[in-house]
Amino acid sequence: MENAIKVTGLRKVFDQHAAIEDISFSVKPGEIFGLLGPSGSGKTTTIKILTGELGQTAGDVYVLDINAPLFGTADFKSRIGILSDNSSLYERLTVYDNLKLFCKLYDAPLEQIEVMLDEVNLKEARSKVVSKLSKGMKQRVLLAKALIHKPELVFLDEPTSALDPGNAAHIHRGLQKLNEAGTTIFITTHDMEEATELCDRVAFLDKGKIQELGSPDELRYKYSTHAFHVETFDDERLVIENEAGNADKIRDLIANGEVKSIQSDNPTLGQIFLKVTGKELV
């Protein structure tokens, strides 16, 4: 399989309003791909089309080499995992009973329940009724539910949005482990640190169009001014261009003991997003 996801000329129109306008991208097997964009940019619409919840107006969509019209088949559904804003749990049932239901629906061994409870740090809450859990704990159960059948491809819509930093870090480690085992991950997030830490490649989506696409390192290099920011002990801030002629200038500053700090210009994904789209990612 050459691509886990291949989207060509995708367009989605709701009541004469184009939510997605002619987007194309592909995701390689084993890749973590991040779709970043503000609310209303078309991220959720894209995920819904990729998971078969929504039909496209135009364009070709292939997921795991399966064409969009066949997304309703049990074979396709058993190969993907989804955590989206539409994901929910049975509030009157326990954590264990919720996971047991999906284990059976996906024909996964029941031992997977314990494995997943361990992965999401919820072993002690297995007998708790879901309605008694905090929002963060529910989010972790939803994640366990999405991964319980060891899918080849996982769609995660803001997976750590309700989690505290400790649990978010725990989930990040789990996702990296999952990815190392070969699972392809398609993720949407507002959290630039999360995208930088997890994603092999990211796409910036705004107004239904992909505005930029590449690895976080590539994008940072592309949008860097390639200058050095030097702060001296006299509290002077110098911007020195990365040019051969400036090498002596930097060397002299260091030799004279004037340099308090020196940094290369390395914009964050958030700064790049602002530069590309003119808006903050909130």
Residues forming the site for other proteins (CB under 8 A): 48, 51-55, 72, 74-75, 77-78, 82, 86-93, 97, 100-102, 104-107, 145
How many residues are given for the chain? 282
Q: Which is nearer to other proteins, 52 or 270 (CB)?
A: 52
Query: Least CB distance from residue 24 to other proteins, whole Å?
Result: 22
State which amino acid sits at residue 121.
N
State which amino acid sits at residue 110.
L
CB 113 within 8 A of CB 104: no
Query: Least CB distance from residue 132 to other proteins, whole Å?
Result: 13
Query: Least CB distance from residue 237 to other proteins, whole Å?
Result: 52
Q: Which is nearer to other proteins, 159 or 216 (CB)?
A: 159
Query: Least CB distance from residue 101 to other proteins, whole Å?
Result: 5
User: For residue 61, what are the β-bridge partners?
Assistant: 7
Question: Which residues, other chains included, contact 172 with Cβ-Cβ below 8 Å and sequence gap of 6+?
Answer: 160, 194, 197, 198
Element housing 65 (H / E): none
Q: Which is nearer to other proteins, 7 or 108 (CB)?
A: 108
Kindly state the tokens that stand for 282. Answer: 């909130």
At 268, is the secondary structure helix, strand, or coil? coil
User: For residue 31, what are the β-bridge partners?
Assistant: none
At 31, is the secondary structure helix, strand, or coil? coil
CB 32 within 8 A of CB 142: no
Q: Which is nearer to other proteins, 72 or 278 (CB)?
A: 72
User: For residue 159, what are the β-bridge partners?
Assistant: none
Q: Which is nearer to other proteins, 104 or 251 (CB)?
A: 104
Q: Which is nearer to other proteins, 9 or 69 (CB)?
A: 69
Q: Locate tokens 């559904």: which residue?
A: 77
Q: How many helical (H) and strand (E) elements, i.e. helices and strands, does the chain have?
A: 10, 13
Query: Least CB distance from residue 155 to other proteins, whole Å?
Result: 10
Q: How far apart are CA 96 and CA 117, in angstroms?
A: 9
Query: Least CB distance from residue 59 to other proteins, whole Å?
Result: 15
Query: Least CB distance from residue 213 to other proteins, whole Å?
Result: 26
The 8-class DSSP code of residue 73 comes to: S
